[in-house]
Chains A and B, each alone.
Chain A
Amino acid sequence: MARYETGFEDGRRLLRRRPERLAYGLLALTLVAAPWLLPAYHVGEATFILIMCVASLGLMTLTGFTGQVSLGQSAFVGIGAYIHTILLTQGVPLPLSLLLTTGGAALGGLLVGMPAIRVSGLHLAMVTMAFAIVCEHVLGRWKSVTGGHSGMAVPDPTLFGLSLGGPRAFYFLCLMVLAVVLLLLVNLMRSATGRAFIGIRDSEAAAQGLGIDVARTKVLAFSLSAACSGLAGALLAHQMQHITPEAFGLALSLQLVLMVFIGGLGSLRGAILGAILIGLLPSFISSLKEMLPARLGAQFGLELFVYGAVLTFFVLLEPGGLNSRWVRIRKVLAEFPWVRKSSTHQTKVYMKSERYR
């Protein structure tokens, strides 16, 4: 059956066509060259976004692929940041600490996931939200270990005696971590486990009927996403240089959920696009402010208002998320000279209850 094998291998290849390979190659080059092209501030922002990408990829596996909405992701980011900081202070070398942190967060995800999977949908969102609130509280109260609300200073990242604390070096550390995480997730998503995730999202009954161990797979997804978030937390700790519990509160959870949602559920690319959009918003807003007339720019609440407006705009007008827009653009580009006028016929849609999934 060699016929299928070749076809199939082609189908499974990551970058199928020449133009695609070219585009991604260019992207990689740009990312590598970026620290020299951008001013220092933007390198910092880019690093921040890379970190957010790692965290949002984690949530995407859970929410976008497995259909389990979690508002507790900030807790795992926090756990990661704290474990990593504590390990580093204890003198554990950076690579080992990153691994241990990832493992620790995965374990945390496992422990939270096991009871949490008993509920689903909005109930799950609420349980995980409660968990995040409790977790932040514990971080703030457990003074002997976490330094309480005054937080902890994060040691500089060093590798074999070399400091990675500078903006460029740290940018590359984050870029590398993101690349590895992305590659592993891409692999996972195109294999049996990834398909099982999607199956559970679309119909638990059918998934069960196909012999997928629903409980186990859900816990796995939880654990996986916690691991990514924890890893992101470790990097974030370096980015912040000083961590306090409030940094890992509900607001961060909401941001992450917004990233995967606005990026487009069920696509890793969406997670990254979402992280870029949401990650850039604050700086976008602050530069917007500078352009507005001083009276308006100085208004209190302007940030919040614009932030909300952008969210509303994207949720309303990009139902498939940024990813679907991207796919459409790519299609137009691919068919370029023959631009088909897509007839936009409004179809009526009806609310579907999700209460009996």
Chain B
Amino acid sequence: MSAEFFEVERLSLSFGGVKAVRDVSFSIRAGEILAVIGPNGAGKTSLLNLITRVFDASSGSIRFNGQDILRLARHDVVRQGIARTFQNIELFEGATVLENLLLGRHRADHGNFFSQMFNLPSVRRAEARTRERVEDVVRLLELAPFRHRPVAELPYGVRKVVELGRALAAEPRLLLLDEPASGLNPEETRRLAYWLEDIQAELGVTVVMVEHDMSLVAAVANRVVVMDQGQVLTDGTPAQVQADPRVIAAYLGT
């Protein structure tokens, strides 16, 4: 596959006077892990929000697999195979971990309302399939001990993992992660790195990850896009950007 897998072109977003994203362009090859880094308020989260259509772009285009994302209805983005996590964790607090993961698969759930009401065999089969996939995620992320715990009781770190799992349950082709390692200690971050490797290698998922933890970025990212003040400052391999003086000045510090 080529650069067409996912492509952002001259994307802009402004809130009143604040230009959160300005003319951002980049592209991802299938199977890549792309990290987006940049100072606070650089517009990274806004970029993810644009891709998942939480916000409407002021201009520009986003192409995924030849589809123009900006033309889709909001809930249809996921149907194209894009899943995400949120910076401030948006789990369904009142539900258990399992229910959260099952919900992650919503887009893959078939069967209409009436067949569900009558619990027809087709629905039973679909449910079994769904559960099977979810169990795969549980196994991958080692969530088994929490399967039936309500999310509201879980510590921060576990919630982060649950949210990752929920996104994975959708079997996305493109996974968008907003600061997956924040709030994790180095040990846990290392585990996350393995998972991301698995996700990339075993599941063949392409990942765009906004992250401040350079150890994680350095460990897993194939390429890094650096944003500053809504614009792309530079991009390159982790080693390249870490050495870039502009990046050091604006973001890494000495």
Contact = CB atoms under 8 A, between A and B. Distances in A.
- Direct contact between the two chains A and B in their complex (CB within 8 A): yes
B90 A206 contact: yes
A211 B76 contact: yes
A4 B98 CA distance: 14
B127 A12 contact: yes
A192 B116 contact: yes
Given A192-B106, A198-B99, A211-B78, A184 B132 contact: no
Nearest to B73: A213
Interface residues of A, number: 35
B116 A187 contact: yes
Interface in B107-138: 107, 109, 111, 113, 116-119, 123-124, 126-128, 130-132, 135
A212 B94 CA distance: 17
Contacts of A193: 113, 116
Given A5-B128, A203-B92, A210 B103 contact: yes
Contacts of B92: 198-199, 201-203, 206-207
Interface string A292-322: 0000000000000000000000000000000
Contacts of B207: none
B117 A187 contact: yes
Interface string A12-27: 1000000000000000
A1 interface: yes
Given A191-B123, A195-B102, A198-B95, A206 B116 contact: no
Contacts of A12: 124, 127, 131
A220 B185 CA distance: 43
Chain B interface residue number, banded = 35 or more
A187 B128 CA distance: 14
A309 B106 CA distance: 43
Contacts of A214: 75
Interface string B70-113: 00011111110001101000111111000100111011010101
Nearest to A201: B94
B52 interface: yes
A266 interface: yes
A317 B118 CA distance: 37
Contact of B166 (A9, A205, A210, A212): A210
A283 interface: no
Contacts, number: 117
A266 B119 contact: no
Contacts of B52: 209
Contacts of B54: 205, 208-209
Contacts of B128: 4-5, 8-9
Contacts of B106: 192, 195-196, 199, 210-212
Nearest to A6: B128
A130 interface: no
A188 interface: yes
Contacts of B73: 213
A254 B134 CA distance: 40
B20 interface: no
Given A210-B170, A211-B107, A202 B78 contact: no
B117 A188 contact: yes
Contacts of B109: 191-192
Contacts of A211: 75-79, 106-107, 170
Contact of A191 (B75, B78, B111): B111
Contacts of A194: 116
Interface string A266-299: 1000000000000000000000000000000000
Nearest to B176: A209
Contacts of B99: 195, 198
A252 to B, nearest CB: 26
Contact of B118 (A9, A11, A184, A210): A184
A5 B132 contact: yes
Contacts of B94: 198, 201-202, 266
Nearest to B99: A195
B103 A187 contact: no
A210 B78 contact: yes
Interface of A: 1, 4-5, 8-9, 11-12, 184-185, 187-188, 190-196, 198-199, 201-203, 205-214, 220, 266
24 contacts: A8-B132, A11-B131, A185-B117, A187-B116, A187-B118, A191-B116, A192-B116, A193-B116, A195-B103, A195-B106, A198-B92, A201-B94, A202-B94, A202-B95, A203-B91, A203-B93, A205-B90, A206-B91, A209-B84, A210-B107, A210-B170, A211-B75, A211-B107, A212-B103
Interface of B: 52, 54, 73-79, 83-84, 86, 90-95, 99, 102-104, 106-107, 109, 111, 113, 116-119, 123-124, 126-128, 130-132, 135, 166, 170
